[in-house]
Structure 1
Amino acid sequence: MRIGELAARTGASVRSIRYYEKQNLLGATRSHGGQRIFDEEAVERVALIRRLLDAGLTSRTMAELLPCITDAAVRTPYLALRLHEERQRILDQIERLGRTVAALDAVIGDFGGGDGGNLAVRRRGRRPVRLRRRTPAT
């Protein structure tokens, strides 16, 4: 199947599929015209890649672990060890972000004009448009 069909069947963008191939997470053959041709297993492979991305694994870590995940014959305790290490890495990130939020709350308290929880940011898409005070309900 061509890249567009794979994208449609998996919900991944064509750009993402090209990235997966570039990172050696997904293989394709080439037609005489140079177009990528994917086999039927690519649908499951893309689903697995997206699942691992959702779980916080980097493409580098995935490239390292995918052979262990997809082939039970080469699955070793190393896989469980690496997955636990990745889990700890994510927990460490969460802890650092918690400290960052606490520091920002302190800055808001010192310079934000009082109760930071009383400010509302209106958003258009992802960008803040303006900051306004919420008025208490009467």
Structure 2
Amino acid sequence: MPHRVRGGTMQIGELAERTGLSLRTIRHYDDVGLLPASRTEGGFRVYTEQDVERLLVVRQMKPLGFTLEEMAELLELLGAEPASPERLADYLERARPERDKLARKLAQADEFIALLEHRLGR
């Protein structure tokens, strides 16, 4: 189990485990400023519960085809008070058709799996 670092923070291994993302992806998000990490005196990246939540939102956005810049803007919009309803509505209108495409692909995959199961007598 990853070593906890003081004050409720966690190291990158635990963050990866909790979010299902790879260390490489998390480091990349740090490098591009999408998930900037705090550092210990020894230079190790440390993360908070807020970082976990932020990364889970990024993970939800990823299959919808948003760029890293768009993800950063969305995170900012989602955290803003008051939020910009116009910009959020723009992103929602882009997300819906992407979600529909993913649902169609999933349905096709389910049909193929059913075909294989039928052929195998399962």
Where on the TM-score scale, by shorter chain, does this alignment land: which range? 0.5 to 0.7
Q: 2:16 aligns to what?
A: 7
TM-score of the two chains, using structure 2 as the length reference: 0.63
Unaligned ranges ≥5, structure 2: 1-9, 102-122
Aligned residue number for residue 22 of structure 1: 31
Distance 1:54 1:70, change over 3 A: farther
Q: Which residue of 2 aligns with 1:81?
A: 90
Count of residue pairs brought into register by the alignment: 91
Taking CA–CA contacts closer than 8 Å with sequence separation of 6 or more, which of the two structures ends up with the larger relative contact order? Answer: 2
Q: Distance in 2 between matches of 1:14 and 1:49?
A: 15
Deviates further, 67-76 or 13-22? 67-76
TM-score, normalising length: structure 1: 0.57
Match of 2:41 among 32, 39, 54: 32
Q: How many angstroms apart in 2 are the aligned matches of 1:36 and 1:27?
A: 9
Rounded Cα–Cα distance in structure 1 between residues aligned with 2:36 and 2:75: 13
Q: Aligned-residue CA RMSD in angstroms?
A: 2.2
Matched position secondary structure for 1:37: strand
Residues 43 and 67 (structure 1), Cα distance of their counterparts in 2 relative to 1, 3 Å cut: same
Contact 1:10–1:47 at 8 Å: present in 2 too?
Answer: yes
Identity %: 41
Task: Name the counterpart of 1:54.
Answer: 63
The higher radius of gyration belongs to 1
